[in-house]
């Protein structure tokens, strides 16, 4: 059957509505963004009926990068003699599929400590809290010691309880997802009147998971506890648990019962009687009500440290993908399609940004270290709330850095300067189904970083398309027009290296134009000259050509490694050049086949700085002034003046504003 032409638009909207209501999932750190996503999905999928999609189990607010995972270490990795010996501290955990039973020797990673937890290092902050830093260092040293035999037995017992609860919650979540799902027929099924559950009843089911589902609450609290240790407040260093206490409190959360003992009055007054009863009164307090609701007042009374965990999880929005979507991962293995424009942001501690909100002088003036320290202390004394905000901001920044740089969390990024967008790549690969696809818009740093070979070795076997843009047409208004970024299509699972590559793009439509082009005619350059209103105008070229589409495989990567990287660099770690057309590959082949290289002439030539542009201006040797030189002695040669094959490429305008 074919869809009648007059019903095509209507049926298309119905399909969109079905997909929105059943197959769209998302996570964002900003709760407002989550609400806007709900509205946007509804408006884009709205159809003729009164059906309203519900996204309770699909759209979540949380930090996509910070959370616990279903990954395991082997119990043999829990003991070591020397720091450099192989152990869980210097290796990466193994992924355990959601529907694969855990083996007895496998230990969940979030039940083990890490050297990056509460590991703060800023000298300024350390000078402010020297005793707390000493306490943190001493705690961490003890916390990550080799496990004793009885501790390993404790962790194995806890793992069994975690696995049982995970299986229970997976079944509960599957049932709840079915309970809140509505039948929404699409073509060729007819749209008959059906009774659908109300949004209020769905919200009630969802809130019950958050408040009344003990299996979910127990697992989330254990995972949040592990995450909180990475961000532990400096001024609460004395409240950190030792390892035995931590494991005890984790098991208490999983059991849901607090057992307390107190000495009775009889015991207090009984002395010398070897046969007297011990006089201990054991009391059991359940952490959950009969309906499964967590009794936080009981929890915080018996385990006051969990109040700090509660504050930190709300502040940092820890998100555990393998818990929130465990039923889907068990059924499908992961997501089929993931799309995103992750933050292009380095995690860096900049105290001026925090202090400047209260005292602009921190930002407006360049202060010496001594004056900065004096002003900081004076400002803290004048504004009591500032120090707590300053310290909390630092803890969040340093804790985030430690978490992202930890080998057990993002091992493929080891040695790479961490930028948030880089962390989303291995996260997407991990969360993808066997045949899943991920599309990300991100900067070019992963392809030209000299230290990024290990990351590229993971990227290239998954990369299927790489389209590199320059922001000259202000596709992103808030980004500098020189900025380069790319649209990247990845498969979730690695395979044979092979991807399509286009460089020097300024508009998205050029990609389609390249694929649709016949391949005949001259290849357009970067710019075009057009006549407008009697004047010759230079514009960025957005036309396409088949020859700009370059197929990259292992052979091409081997070529790039020989040309651009140090000798012996594997092909999968090669840096990726921005080639304008496939004909340039043959040119690079010629370069690569040359037997003599500049590096072979070491010691036979040297280079000097000559005039340092910055310092030479300061001492008056050169003057920064835009003018047309009368002779070569007045000319300071800069990079933009020359280009490949063009010794005189650019010259500034007479009235230069740059």
Domain spans of the chain? 5-60, 71-191+198-332, 351-404, 444-601, 608-658
Quick: pLDDT tens for 555-570: 999 999 999 998 899 9
Instruction: Kindly list the distances between the CA atom of residue 21 and the CA atoms of 38, 46, 55, 300, 420, in Å, as whole numbers in the listed order.
Output: 10, 11, 7, 38, 30
Q: Roughly how many angstroms between the first and final C-alpha of the chain, as a whole number?
A: 64
pLDDT at 368 over 90: no
Convert 326-359 to b/e letters by CB count within 10 Å (16 or more is b): bbbbbeebbbeebebebebeebebebeebbeeeb
Mean predicted confidence (pLDDT) in 264-280: 52
Virtual torsion, Cα 168, 174, 176, 181, nearest 10 deg: 180
Structure tokens at 487: 């649209």
Quote the CA–CA distance of 92 and 86 in Å, as a whole number. 11
Instruction: Identify the sign of the CA torsion 232, 233, 234, 235.
Output: negative
The crossing angle, in degrees rounded to 10, of helices 384-405 and 369-382 is: 120
pLDDT at 276 over 50: no
Structure tokens at 412: 């493929």
Quick: pLDDT tens for 627-646: 788 887 777 777 888 887 77
Strands 26-28 and 59-61: parallel
Quote the CA–CA distance of 589 and 62 in Å, as a whole number. 48
Instruction: Kindly list the distances between the CA atom of residue 487 and the CA atoms of 45, 347, 396, 434, 439, in Å, as whole numbers in the listed order.
Output: 25, 23, 30, 22, 7
Specify the pLDDT at position 567: 86
Contact status, residue 540 vs residue 472, Cβ threshold 8 Å: yes
Residue 230's closest CA among 108, 316, 353, 138? 316
Residue that is written with structure tokens 């750190």 in the block: 29
3-state SS assignment for residue 50? coil
Confidence of residue 238 (pLDDT cuts 50, 70, 90): very high
Quote the CA–CA distance of 412 and 404 in Å, as a whole number. 11
Q: Where are the beta strands (DSSP E) in 328-431?
A: 335-340
Quote the CA–CA distance of 492 and 425 in Å, as a whole number. 9
Mean predicted confidence (pLDDT) in 417-436: 94
Confidence of residue 194 (pLDDT cuts 50, 70, 90): low
pLDDT at 210 over 70: no
Q: Which range has the worst mean pLDDT, 302-306, 326-330, 614-618?
A: 614-618
Q: Which range has the worst mean pLDDT, 106-110, 201-205, 333-337?
A: 201-205
Share of the chain above pLDDT 70, in %: 93
Quote the CA–CA distance of 326 and 163 in Å, as a whole number. 12
pLDDT at 427 over 50: yes
Virtual torsion, Cα 120, 124, 127, 129, nearest 10 deg: -50
Residue 422's closest CA among 506, 335, 347? 347
pLDDT at 277 over 60: no
Confidence of residue 266 (pLDDT cuts 50, 70, 90): low
CA 59 to chain centroid, in Å, comes to 18
Quote the CA–CA distance of 289 and 430 in Å, as a whole number. 36
Confidence of residue 127 (pLDDT cuts 50, 70, 90): very high
Confidence of residue 417 (pLDDT cuts 50, 70, 90): confident
Quote the CA–CA distance of 62 and 78 in Å, as a whole number. 31
The crossing angle, in degrees rounded to 10, of helices 305-316 and 214-228 is: 90
Mean predicted confidence (pLDDT) in 392-418: 93
Instruction: Kindly list the distances between the CA atom of residue 239 and the CA atoms of 132, 232, 233, 351, 553, in Å, as whole numbers in the listed order.
Output: 11, 9, 9, 26, 55
Between 194 and 78, name the one with better pLDDT. 78
Contact status, residue 441 vs residue 341, Cβ threshold 8 Å: yes
Q: What is the pTM of this model?
A: 0.88
Specify the pLDDT at position 186: 84
Specify the pLDDT at position 281: 61
Element (H, E) at 535: strand 535-540
The crossing angle, in degrees rounded to 10, of helices 214-228 and 149-180 is: 130
The number of C-alpha atoms within 13 Å of 339 and in the hemisphere containing its C-beta is 3
Specify the pLDDT at position 212: 63
Mean pLDDT of the chain: 89
Virtual torsion, Cα 325, 331, 335, 336, nearest 10 deg: -160
Specify the pLDDT at position 66: 98
């Amino acid at each position: 059957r074919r869809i009648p032409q007059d019903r095509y638009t209507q049926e298309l909207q119905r399909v969109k509505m079905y997909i929105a209501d059943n197959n769209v999932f998302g996570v964002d750190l900003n709760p407002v963004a989550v609400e806007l996503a709900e509205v946007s999905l509804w408006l884009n999928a709205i159809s003729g009926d009164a059906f309203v999609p519900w996204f309770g189990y699909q759209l979540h607010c949380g930090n996509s990068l910070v959370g616990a995972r279903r990954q395991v270490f082997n119990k043999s990795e829990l003991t070591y003699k020397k720091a450099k010996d192989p152990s869980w501290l210097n290796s990466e955990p193994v992924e355990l599929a959601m529907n694969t039973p855990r083996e007895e020797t496998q230990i969940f990673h979030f039940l083990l400590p890490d050297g990056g937890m509460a590991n703060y290092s800023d000298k300024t902050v350390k000078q402010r809290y020297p005793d707390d830093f000493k306490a943190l260092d001493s705690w961490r040293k003890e916390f990550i010691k080799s496990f004793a035999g009885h501790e390993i037995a404790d962790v194995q017992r806890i793992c069994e309880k975690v696995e049982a609860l995970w299986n229970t919650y997976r079944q509960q979540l599957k049932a709840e997802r079915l309970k809140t799902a509505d039948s929404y027929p699409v073509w060729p099924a007819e749209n008959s009147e059906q009774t659908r559950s109300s949004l209020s009843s769905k919200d009630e089911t969802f809130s019950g998971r958050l408040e009344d589902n003990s299996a979910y609450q127990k697992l989330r609290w254990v995972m949040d506890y592990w995450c909180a240790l990475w961000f532990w407040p400096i001024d609460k260093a004395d409240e950190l648990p030792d390892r035995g206490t931590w494991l005890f409190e984790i098991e208490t959360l999983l059991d849901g019962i607090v057992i307390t003992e107190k000495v009775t009055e009889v015991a207090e007054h009984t002395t010398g009687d070897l046969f007297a009863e011990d006089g201990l009164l054991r009391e059991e307090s359940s952490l959950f009500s009969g309906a499964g609701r967590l009794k936080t007042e009981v929890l915080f009374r018996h385990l006051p440290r969990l109040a700090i965990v509660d504050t930190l999880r709300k502040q940092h929005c820890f998100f555990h993908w393998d818990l929130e979507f465990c039923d889907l991962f068990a059924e499908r293995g992961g997501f089929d399609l993931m799309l995103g424009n992750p933050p292009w942001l380095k995690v860096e501690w900049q105290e001026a940004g925090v202090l400047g909100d209260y005292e602009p002088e921190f930002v407006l003036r360049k202060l010496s270290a001594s004056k900065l320290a004096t002003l900081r202390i004076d400002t803290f004394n004048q504004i009591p709330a500032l120090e707590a905000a300053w310290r909390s901001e630092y803890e969040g920044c340093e804790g985030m850095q430690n978490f992202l740089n930890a080998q057990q969390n993002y091992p493929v990024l080891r040695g790479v300067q961490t930028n948030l967008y880089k962390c989303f790549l291995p996260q997407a690969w991990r969360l993808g189904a066997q045949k899943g696809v991920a599309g990300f818009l991100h900067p070019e740093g992963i392809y030209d970083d000299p230290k990024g070979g290990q990351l590229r070795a993971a990227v290239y076997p998954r990369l299927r398309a790489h389209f590199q843009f320059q922001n000259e047409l202000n596709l992103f208004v808030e980004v500098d027009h020189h900025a380069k970024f790319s649209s990247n299509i990845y498969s979730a699972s690695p395979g044979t290296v092979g991807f399509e590559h286009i460089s020097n793009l300024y508009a998205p439509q050029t990609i389609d134009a390249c694929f649709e082009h016949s391949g005949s005619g001259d290849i357009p350059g970067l710019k075009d000259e057009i006549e407008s209103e009697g004047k010759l105008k230079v514009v960025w070229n957005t036309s396409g050509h088949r020859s700009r589409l370059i197929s990259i495989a292992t052979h091409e990567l081997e070529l790039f490694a020989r040309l651009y990287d140090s000798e012996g660099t594997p092909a999968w770690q090669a840096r990726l050049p921005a080639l304008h057309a496939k004909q340039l590959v043959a040119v690079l082949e010629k370069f690569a086949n040359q037997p003599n290289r500049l590096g072979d002439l070491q010691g036979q030539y040297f280079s000097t700085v000559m005039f340092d542009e910055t310092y030479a201006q300061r001492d008056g040797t050169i003057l920064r002034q835009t003018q047309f030189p009368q002779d070569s002695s007045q000319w300071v040669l800069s990079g933009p003046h020359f280009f490949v094959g063009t010794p005189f490429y650019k010259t500034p305008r007479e009235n230069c504003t740059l």
